Structure 1
Amino acid sequence: MSAPPRVLTVAGSDSGGGAGVQADLKTMLALGVHGMSVITAVTAQNSLGVQGAWELPVEAVRAQYRSVVDDIGVQAVKTGMLASAELVEAVADLITGTDAPAVVDPVGVSKHGDSLLAPSALDSVRTRLLPAATVVTPNLDEVAQLTGLRVESEDGMREAAAALLAYGPRWVVIKGGHLPGDAVDLLTDGSEEHWLRAPRHDNRHTHGTGCTLASAIASGLAKGLTVPEAVRAAKEYVTGAIAAGFALGGGIGPVDHGWRFRT
């Protein structure tokens, strides 16, 4: 039998299983691609927050990446938590040298507000990682970190997208989930706009939404979808996962990556 499309996540491990590499691999399985991983950091994490984080050495990250890409190959790469300037720059070089689309989730803080990116790494994200991205998927907090813009409206999302496109990614998805009203995202390459809207579900268990969306986009690209097609399909998948999110522990539970298997 022929192998399914292959997607590589380059991200941190979430010991609670709701976000990070664990969420990425669950998403990839649910969407019919073969998921592979490069671990950039290990976190002690649960429904209440991040209790500790330890980044891996650059040489360990580079060795994992080369091991997978040189033998197995990839049809898409997704990046998540990269922690430090050194890791950001190393991963940027790796994906620049890989003939596959790259979806960059510029992870800055966790769902609980815990920092997952050193402040000294922000310039490397802007100047090295974003230019290597096919699609970049910041939420509004990450928009503020990277551009200084505080988005409070849909017009502000358009301004934020322009500021991020100036750093060189081909497409930007501004995730407007922190705004009131419907869950609205803006996808644009600077010449065309796609507004993606979904009803807001009254469910606090949304841990892992950003990782899940980026991995779903990468899965769609690996299957040959265009960027707008991949983002629309990912939005639909994530909306269902949020609606089915469930409680774990004493805090914020995860989205349900397997919701389609149970409906």
Structure 2
Amino acid sequence: MVARVMTVASTDSGGGAGIMADLKTFTAMKVFGTAVIVSLTAQNSVTVKSIYELPLKFINEQFDAIMEDIGTDAAKTGMLYTEPIISNITEKFKQYGIKKIVVDPVMISKTNVRLLREDAVESMKSKLMKIADLITPNIPESEVISSMKIRNFGDSKKAAKKIHEFTGSAVLIKGGHAGGDCSIDILYDGSEYYEYKSRRIFTKNTHGTGDTLSASIASYLASGKKLPEAIELAKRYVEGAIQNSFPMGKGYGALSHFWVIK
């Protein structure tokens, strides 16, 4: 039986992030990917030109169509954009009793365009994050969620614990926005800290890195891996995808999602 993974997110017409990156990742992980699209974006490697929200009724119909027939072994969320969408998706996860949920709290694009409205942040924190198995914020997102400034690795550990305390979910704070030759991600699962250290790869071709990481973690969870191992394996996959990345467009280039497929 092939493991099934659902992505609940938005499109990227430029192909590098969002639903497009998720489905490429699922294919590379050899799981069966399904998609609930909540909004459409007109974007490329340089900017996000516009965002079009889909009606909640249609979002629900996509979700129901998948769950009434195919089902899912894990799910991940990406760009959700508005408070009504977040509230709605939270209830759909509850309705179907979906487990192994990875929440990537996408807030700002690499091109500095807001992808989560300010009035939706509290809903993300108080609703969706509380039913997640794992939350995967980067450092700027972690600062917003934890309401604290992160200046060093010690602050990341404090923020991870603080986020866990009010959500009850495991938290992986990604270290990509920190300086240095190495990137260190920190996982706090409520009892232990885990560190994931990798060599920093200096390249501009990193569009969709967060989507790809969360999608690969969800894939490994769906395949039966425990959380710390799922993150370790996903980190290796993303590191290879960045090492083999390439320019695509005039801005942030593309990851090589299929580098592991022989």
Give the TM-score category using the shorter length: over 0.9
Query: In the TM superposition, what whole-angstrom CA distance separates every residue of 1:18-75 from its partner, at most 9, and x where no partner exists?
Result: 0000000000000110000000110001010111111111111111111101210100
**Counterpart-to-counterpart distance in 1, 2:171 and 2:109:** 20
Structure-1 residue corresponding to 2:125? 126
Deviation per residue, 1:104-136 (Å, 9 max, x gap): 001101111110011110110011011010000
For 2:16 and 2:166, the matched residues in 1 are separated by 30
Give the Cα–Cα distance (whole angstroms) in 1 for the partners of residues 55 and 145 of structure 2: 25
Shift of 1:193: 1.1
TM-score (structure 1 length as normaliser): 0.96
Q: CA deviation at 1:261?
A: 2.8
Structural mapping, 1:234-245, within 5 Å: 234-245=234-245
The DSSP-based 3-state class of the residue aligned with 1:167 is helix
What does residue 82 of structure 1 align with?
Answer: 80
User: In the alignment, which residue of structure 2 is the partner of 1:11?
Assistant: 9
Partner of 1:102: 101
Query: Could you list the runs of 5+ residues in structure 2 that have no partner in the other structure?
Result: none
In structure 1, give the amino acid aligned to 2:222: A
Q: CA deviation at 1:100?
A: 2.2
Aligned position for 1:46: 44
2:176 corresponds in structure 1 to 177
**CA offset at residue 167 of structure 1?**
2.5
State the match for 2:253 in structure 1: 253
Three-state SS of the structure 1 residue aligned to 2:11 is strand
The gaps in structure 1 that reach 5 residues or longer are none
| Equivalent residue number for residue 148 of structure 1 | 147
RMSD of Structure 2 on Structure 1 (CA): 1.1
Q: Distance in 1 between matches of 2:38 and 2:179?
A: 34
Would you say the 8 A contact 1:45–1:51 is kept in 2?
A: yes
**Which residue identity is paired with 1:233?**
L
SS in 2 for 1:106: coil
TM-score scaled by length of structure 2: 0.97
Percent identical across equivalent pairs?
40
CA distance in 2 between counterparts of 1:253 and 1:56 reads 28
Question: Which residue identity is paired with 1:139?
Answer: N
Residues paired across the two proteins, number: 260
Deviation at 1:5, TM superposition (A): 0.4
Provide the residue aligned with 2:21 in structure 1: 23
* Matches for 1:157-236 after TM superposition, within 5 Å: 157-181=156-180, 182-236=182-236
* Alpha-carbon separation, structure 2, partners of 1:25 and 1:225: 20
When residues 59 and 205 of structure 1 are mapped into structure 2, their CA distance, relative to the original with a 3 A threshold, is: same
Q: Separation in 2 of the partners of 1:170 and 1:220?
A: 18
1:135-161, Cα deviation, whole Å (9 max, x unpaired): 000001111222222212110110110
Q: Is the 8 A contact 2:8 2:38 kept in 1?
A: yes
SS in 1 for 2:167: coil
What is the alpha-carbon distance in structure 2 between the residues aligned to residue 250 and residue 28 of structure 1? 27
Asked if the contact 2:168/2:190 (under 8 Å) is kept, the reply is no
Aligned amino acid, residue 102 of structure 1 = I
Partner Cα distance (1:216, 1:160) in 2: 24
